Structure 1
Amino acid sequence: MNRLWVRLTLAFALVILVAVGVIALLAGLTAGREFHRYLTYSDIWPNQVLVDVLARYYRFRGDWRGIEIILDQEARLPNPRIGARGGRWAGLLRFVLADAQGRVIYDGAEGQPGRLLRAEERAAAQEIEVDGAVAGYLVTVVVDRPPFLGPLEEIFLSRLQRWLILGALLAGVLGLLLGVVLSRSLTAPLRRLAEAARAVANRDFSRRVQAEGSTEVVQVAQAFNQMTAALEEAERQRRNMVADIAHELRTPLSVLQGNLQAILDDVYPLNKEEIARLYDETRLLGRLVDDLRELALADAGQLRLNLQPLKVAPVVQATVESLSLAAENQGVALSAELPEDLPLVRADPDRLGQVLRNLVVNALQHTPAGGSVVVRAAPTAGAVEISVADTGEGIAPEDLPHVFERFWRADASRSWDKRWAGGTGLGLSVAQSLVEAQGGRIWAESALGRGSTFRFTLPLAGDEAGQAPPAGTTRR
């Protein structure tokens, strides 16, 4: 009994039964009353003698003043001009006289003169014509009509009531059946949604539901499908990330274990050069762990940012200077082109430097000797755009949408020890998270054989101060 379709069925049935019962009751009462009213007027024989008397009166007087005397006298007389289905019977009559516009002039001893004739009175009224024009209307009403009905009237009312009851019962049964069908059809999408939700709870993220039914149910189904698609993609990325992390950790750990085992077996000498190599491997592991922590904090909205009005040029210059020696050793020209009138941005100086270092290191990694890397900055609508352009091998169009994915590499065969400066495969992902956390956006432009350009924006300090969180707070 606690199922939704059962409750809906009972609700439909209750509403239909109440509505049909009320309609049948009102129809029965109204039909009986109107039928009695019909008999009240239909059983009266036309009173042409009185109509002629009233017509002569109006022709003589020119109006209806004083007509009350004649009609009162006529109403007090027993009158045989009343018919009945079973025969004639004598009774008193009440007369209603109206003028040519249908406004009542005389309405019996206790009537309401001045009103308009009712519809049933107009239908039963006799016209009073004077010189070819209607001068008024006469309505004859039975006073205290006997309550009994003739056999035909009794049969008619009995059949009418019986059909009303049967119609009400039939409508109730049909309404109940219709309620069952409607309730089952309304709850069917919800049942399918519940089954799909249980499948998702069992980690079957491929389940989808058909979007059908009412607008609200379709919206719920679409939202559910969007949620499961997002969960499926998140699960795929999680599995890939776990596999990538295991792979990235296994390589330096294998190097450490192999070298240490070789030292223990006296294959490698225990000297500073060998210890330095092992130390470099531990630094790579530390950078990988730091990058993963940065990404985890950004995903959780717990990344600490010291947002403040900031000049971009000093941060760019410091980054270029810190990496100039590495670029020189690689044979790559590293430079910065900055205008003097750059507006202030609202950013974290340390995080901005981290983004620039990651982008420049990535550019140096893919730029051969003799190439160049240029860092530029320029004002744009409501922001400052910073770009890092290289003259490297470029990125294929099909690979460009994936450059910010974690552990993604265009060259899948590139191994750990082939990366420039011991990259972790997370630099671009970290840069994207840091830029977006500061209210900017980042994207890449590239073509094979013509190098790549990574661009990102930071909001202006003046325009965006009201939207950025206070300095030293957590950006969520």
Structure 2
Amino acid sequence: MRTRLLVFVTATLILVCAAMALTTALAQRAYLIGDLDGRVTNAAARSLDGAALHPENDDDLGFLDGNGHPAGLLAARLDEDGTIVAAEVVREGAAPKDLTAPQLTALADIAPDGTRHTRTVPGLGTYRVAAVESGGIRVLTGLPMDDVQRVIGGLTVAGAAVAVAGLLVAGCVCTVVIRRQLRPLGRVAAAAAEVSRAPLDRGEGVGLTRVPARDADPDSEAGQVGAALNRMIDHVESSLTALRRTEERMRRFLADASHELRTPLASISGYAELMNRDAARIEPVLAWRRVRAESARMTGLVEDLLLLARLAEDRPLHSTEVDLAALVARAVRDARVAGDGHDWQLELRPDAAPPVLGDAVRLHQVVANLLANARMHTPAGTRVVASVTSTPSTCVIQVRDDGPGIPPALLPAVFEPFTRADTSRSRADAGSGGSGLGLAVAAAITEAHGGHIRVDSVPGRTEFTIELPVTEVELETRTAADAMTRDTGQSGSFAAASASGSAG
């Protein structure tokens, strides 16, 4: 790239210098030729005045005998047909000399109209000549161009020399400047080459080489390239870090899933083996109950895993309008039956449960999982409150308890699969602990409905909050109601006051 840029700059400088030299040479030549043409015109006028002294002699060139004529001046008399009758050239320190026949031939066919012509006269050189006429007298006059041509040649050579010298200086300066300006690009290229040699295919992207800060200045073109490369490297590192975390979570997920599935399978296999070996000493009903319980536990675990996989693939859910107030009320009633040792409470307002668009079965599963989580991880007598409220655009479900709370270190991962708080939160029933998928399933279902879930926990208070978007019909109804309330103004206030008075 550097070589191509230098060649381009050098070629541009050559063209500029050549154009400047050519323009200068043409301008100088035009000036010198114009000055010579002026002197030729003046010399022709003087020759015409001198010939007018003896108009009767068509071949009289006596006016050349006087002083003041420059050496090399050429003068001739023409007849009516434009033919040269007599022609002489002024010599320095000697009498004028007649022109020879070849010289006269070189000056033939010049009309006496004052136009300047360039003719090469054998033995004399190149001349600038003009023929004029006045009162029947025709005179041809010429001056040599050798001095002008020498001056033009000298100026051209000098201009070319100056142009070449300037070109060399400019080329050197440009070379130094370009090398200096492209040096940051070289360092950027070196950083990019270093990154390309990193073992990114093995996920090793931490500590990649960065472009130095001095080469990442956004005020320069090279700096913009360096800054863009640094941003790309940051993105690569963050992507690789996220990939490693995903792989670690996947390995942990597989290990936890294998462990959770192995436990009920081991129980089923153990009871089956005992029944085969000593069926008389093992009560069949008790054994089959344990087998069925472990089988149900394993079935629930597999169904939860399958649901998480389906939700991760963005498979569409069944959508219909769901009454969250009724849904939460049913979930609380079911939780009260399953765990009568807790204080279950429901908080609803008649106008605080707008319909949402979603899958009623899955949303019921979300609330049931949150209530089951509170039942299993809090001691008996804990107060658990489920409430439904709303905002102009969302419907909010909250499940809170006054149990021991979730450890702060566990809060960031509480919605990840197989996350348990057994080490710090008491269980109501140690033998019936969950698999650690309940909150993960709740979060996945909530996100699939376009909502989000969060948890806030301190000792003595743990609160899970679910926000779901309300349906567009409900939004339009609320907007119309708000507009009507604003339009009615005091009339609406009067009506409300009248209603309150009647109720009282």
In the superposition, the TM-score normalised over structure 2's length comes to: 0.63
Q: 1:27 aligns with which of 16, 20, 25?
A: 20
Q: How does 1:433-452 map onto structure 2 within 5 Å?
A: 433-448=444-459, 450-452=460-462
1:235 aligned onto 2:254: no
Change (3 A) 1:168 1:229: same
Q: 1:266 aligns with which of 278, 285, 292?
A: 278
Q: What one-letter code is carried by the residue in structure 2 that aligns with 1:222?
A: D
Q: How does 1:220-231 map onto structure 2 within 5 Å?
A: 220-231=232-243
Moved more, 278-287 or 199-208: 199-208
Change (3 A) 1:387 1:380: same
Paired position in structure 2 for 1:310: 322
Paired position in structure 1 for 2:118: none
Paired position in structure 2 for 1:160: 162
Query: How many Å separate the matches in 1 of 2:428 and 2:144?
Result: 118
Q: Does the CA contact (< 8 Å) of 2:354 and 2:395 recur in 1?
A: yes
Partner secondary structure for residue 375 of structure 1: strand
1:462 aligned onto 2:472: yes
Paired position in structure 2 for 1:132: none
Query: How many Å separate the matches in 1 of 2:14 and 2:41?
Result: 48
Identity %: 27
Q: Does the CA contact (< 8 Å) of 1:407 and 1:424 recur in 2?
A: yes
Paired position in structure 1 for 2:309: 296
Query: How many Å separate the matches in 1 of 2:248 and 2:472?
Result: 41
Paired position in structure 2 for 1:378: 389
Change (3 A) 1:245 1:153: same
Q: Does the CA contact (< 8 Å) of 2:29 and 2:152 recur in 1?
A: no
Paired position in structure 2 for 1:277: 290
Q: Does the CA contact (< 8 Å) of 1:383 and 1:459 recur in 2?
A: yes
Query: How many Å separate the matches in 2 of 1:413 and 1:266?
Result: 41
Q: CA deviation at 1:458?
A: 0.9
Name which one, 1 or 2, has greater alpha-carbon Rg. Answer: 2
Change (3 A) 1:157 1:276: same
Q: Does the CA contact (< 8 Å) of 1:346 and 1:464 recur in 2?
A: no
Q: Matched residue pairs, number?
A: 373
Q: 1:18 aligns with which of 1, 8, 11?
A: 11
Query: How many Å separate the matches in 2 of 1:296 and 1:11?
Result: 56
Change (3 A) 1:464 1:165: farther
Q: Deviations over 1:227-275 (max 9, x none)?
A: 2222122122222222222332233233333333333443961511111
1:326 aligned onto 2:328: no
Paired position in structure 2 for 1:219: 231
Query: How many Å separate the matches in 2 of 1:376 and 1:439?
Result: 20
Q: Does the CA contact (< 8 Å) of 1:207 and 1:228 recur in 2?
A: no
Q: CA deviation at 1:195?
A: 3.0
Query: How many Å separate the matches in 1 of 2:144 and 2:314?
Result: 90
Q: CA deviation at 1:175?
A: 7.6
Q: How does 1:25-424 map onto structure 2 within 5 Å?
A: 25-36=18-29, 77=45, 146-149=148-151, 153=155, 156-167=158-169, 170=172, 181=183, 184-196=186-198, 199-204=199-204, 206=206, 208-210=208-210, 212=216, 213=223, 214=225, 215-266=227-278, 269=282, 271-302=284-315, 304-328=316-340, 331-341=341-351, 342-412=353-423, 419=430, 421-424=432-435
Q: CA deviation at 1:356?
A: 0.6
Change (3 A) 1:432 1:151: closer
Partner secondary structure for residue 218 of structure 1: helix
Q: CA deviation at 1:357?
A: 0.8
Change (3 A) 1:410 1:38: farther
Partner secondary structure for residue 377 of structure 1: strand
Q: CA deviation at 1:338?
A: 1.3
Q: Deviations over 1:43-82 (max 9, x none)?
A: 89xx9xxxxxxxxxxxxxxxxxxxxxxx998685469xxx
Q: Does the CA contact (< 8 Å) of 1:20 and 1:172 recur in 2?
A: no
Partner secondary structure for residue 357 of structure 2: strand
Query: How many Å separate the matches in 2 of 1:40 and 1:416?
Result: 114
Q: Does the CA contact (< 8 Å) of 1:347 and 1:458 recur in 2?
A: no
Q: Which runs of 5 or more residues in structure 2 are unaligned?
A: 48-69, 75-113, 116-142, 217-222, 477-504
Q: What one-letter code is carried by the residue in structure 2 that aligns with 1:340?
A: P
Paired position in structure 2 for 1:115: none
Q: CA deviation at 1:451?
A: 3.0
Query: How many Å separate the matches in 2 of 1:444 and 1:411?
Result: 17
Moved more, 346-355 or 233-242: 233-242
Q: What one-letter code is carried by the residue in structure 1 that aligns with 2:242?
A: A
Paired position in structure 1 for 2:103: none
CA RMSD of aligned residues (A): 4.0
Query: How many Å separate the matches in 2 of 1:240 and 1:463?
Result: 44
Q: Deviations over 1:430-475 (max 9, x none)?
A: 1011111101111112111x13111101111127889xxxxxxxxx
Q: Deviations over 1:395-442 (max 9, x none)?
A: 233332221122112234899996564412011011011111101111
Change (3 A) 1:428 1:150: closer
